[in-house]
Amino acid sequence: MKKEIKLEIKDNNGLHARKCLEICKAAQSFKSDLALIHNNIRIDVKSILGLLSLACTKGEIVTLEATGDDASNAIDLLSSLVC
């Protein structure tokens, strides 16, 4: 199953290192393929360096995609962490 959602970054510091680590650790608990897309750049959410490389700031829109059996659960948890 494939699921996606568009999210606005609401943290004043954007996707900073601590937030990226939290997202990455949570993502690793899922079997689904997880991607975050920003400015046409697609990264694996399970990669801390990938998340940091996006350099997302407050107010920017990202797309979170999940493909796999636990895609819905992954989207639910990760969307709450990204925002």
CATH of domain 2-82: 3.30.1340.10
User: What pLDDT is attached to residue 40?
Assistant: 95
83 pLDDT band (50/70/90 cuts)? confident
81 pLDDT band (50/70/90 cuts)? very high
Domain ranges of the chain: 2-82
pLDDT digits (tens, 9 = 90+) for 6-65: 999 999 999 999 999 999 999 999 999 999 999 999 999 999 999 999 999 999 999 999
14, 16, 37, 79: the catalytic one is 16
Which residues have C-beta within 8 Å of that of residue 29, sequence separation ≥ 6? Answer: none
- Phi, psi values for residue 35, rounded to 5°: -135, 150
Active site residue 38: no
64, 82 Cβ separation under 8 angstroms? yes
